[in-house]
């Protein structure tokens, strides 16, 4: 049981926000934040809250399946939208404001879906920590009137994990995730073929037992980010050679290990002036 009074206050505030909203379509990715938001929304609003998952080449198949399984197990209504971000040349060219363009397109679809369902709001799982990085997508959310109840309640990622564990949600210890487009260096054209390479490379590393990771793509080079302790494993039992061989099979010409390790927003280095 959670005894942190401040955290309990934030949870209560979250539930107050959801009650005030009255109904919501939750943008659901099966990640830590959106799962907790969906859990609370369904607890507070019942059938007046439902999940919407946008399936595309930016969204790994594994995440889509986890989203479906969670909603099915909890009896939560779940709508699936199929979209293709790469139809938009601006997104495909991967400018520094790609996330803004993606969020604008995605949440415009979600707003229409909510309107068709007679639902008052669309909500999504940004938390307080998301204000600390270059996040042009937040501007798109604000322009469209998308609600971020976790952020409004002042909840951080660590607090959301603690509340998720208390609620026995399967995602409480799940690694942080971002869409596959975030693996591309700005200015490099995003293609379905390269997205598939990145997804397959990350799935392979997960199959080897690695937990929090990214495979960033720079042309024909893969830059692997792992947690510091996990990096030690790469050089044991010929694992480096195995990984190199597998990623070359997937289409990469060069495979590197980032000595700084896993970190959120590493592709945003050098663009602090845009924050």
Question: Domain residue spans in the chain?
Answer: 5-166, 180-268
DSSP-assigned letter for residue 38: H
List pLDDT tens digits, range 4-56: 889 999 999 999 999 999 999 999 999 999 999 999 999 999 999 999 999 99
Q: How far apart are CA 25 and CA 38, in angstroms?
A: 9
**Which is more confidently placed, 266 or 103?**
103
180-268: which CATH number, 3.40.190.10, 3.30.70.2210, 3.40.50.2300, 3.30.200.20? Answer: 3.30.70.2210
What SS3 state is found at 216?
strand
Residue 265 has a pLDDT of: 67
Whole-number pLDDT of residue 56 = 94
Report the alpha-carbon distance of residue 86 to residue 58 in Å, rounded.
9
In angstroms, what CA-CA distances link 208 with 199, 213, 252? Answer: 14, 12, 19
Q: Angle at which helices 157-166 and 32-45 pack, to 10 degrees?
A: 50
Q: Which of 57, 71, 102, 179 is catalytic?
A: 179
Tens digit of each residue's pLDDT (9 = 90 or more) over 125-169: 999 998 876 778 899 999 999 999 999 999 999 999 999 999 999
Of the candidates 89, 85, 99, the residue with the CA atom closest to the CA atom of residue 195: 85
pLDDT at 91 > cutoff 90: yes
CB atoms within 10 A of CB 71: 22
- The correct answer on CATH 3.40.50.620 for the domain covering 5-166 is yes
Question: To 5 degrees, how large is the angle CA 209–CA 29–CA 77?
Answer: 125
The span from the CA of 218 to the CA of 64, in Å, is 26
CA 198 – CA 204 distance, rounded (Å): 10
Between the CA of residue 242 and those of 181, 214, 234, 249, what are the distances in Å?
26, 17, 9, 11
Active site residue 102: no
Total number of residues shown for the chain? 275
pTM greater than 0.85 (yes/no): yes
Distance CA 70, CA 73 (A): 5
**Residue 275 reports pLDDT greater than 90:** no
What is the average pLDDT score of the chain? 93
C-alpha distance from residue 2 to each of 7, 8, 129, 161, 162 (Å): 8, 7, 21, 12, 8
What confidence tens digit (pLDDT) does each residue in 159-208 have?
999 999 999 999 999 998 889 999 999 999 999 999 999 999 999 999 99
């Amino acid at each position: 049981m959670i005894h942190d009074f401040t955290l309990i206050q934030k949870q209560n505030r979250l539930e107050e926000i959801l009650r005030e909203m009255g109904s919501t379509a939750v943008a659901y990715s099966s990640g830590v934040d959106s799962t907790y938001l969906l859990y609370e929304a369904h607890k507070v609003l019942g059938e007046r809250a439902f999940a919407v998952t946008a399936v595309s080449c930016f969204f790994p198949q594994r995440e889509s399946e986890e989203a479906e399984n969670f909603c099915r197990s909890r009896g939560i209504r779940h709508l699936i939208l199929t979209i293709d971000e790469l139809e938009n040349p601006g997104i495909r060219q991967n400018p520094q404001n790609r996330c803004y363009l993606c969020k604008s397109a995605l949440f415009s679809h979600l707003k229409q879906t909510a309107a068709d369902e007679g639902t008052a709001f669309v909500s999504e799982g940004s938390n307080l920590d998301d204000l600390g990085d270059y996040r042009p997508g937040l501007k798109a959310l604000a322009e469209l009137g998308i609600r971020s109840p976790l952020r409004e309640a002042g909840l951080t990622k660590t607090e959301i994990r603690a509340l998720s564990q208390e609620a026995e949600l399967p995602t409480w210890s799940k690694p942080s995730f971002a869409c596959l487009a975030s693996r591309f260096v700005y200015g490099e054209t995003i293609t379905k073929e390269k997205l598939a390479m990145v997804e397959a490379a990350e799935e392979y590393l997960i199959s080897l037992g690695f937990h929090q990771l990214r495979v960033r793509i720079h042309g024909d080079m893969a830059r692997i980010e792992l947690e510091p302790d996990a990096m030690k494993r790469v050089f044991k039992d010929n694992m480096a050679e195995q990984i190199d061989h597998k990623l070359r099979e997937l289409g990469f010409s060069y495979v590197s290990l980032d000595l700084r390790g896993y970190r959120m927003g590493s592709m945003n280095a050098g663009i602090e002036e845009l924050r």
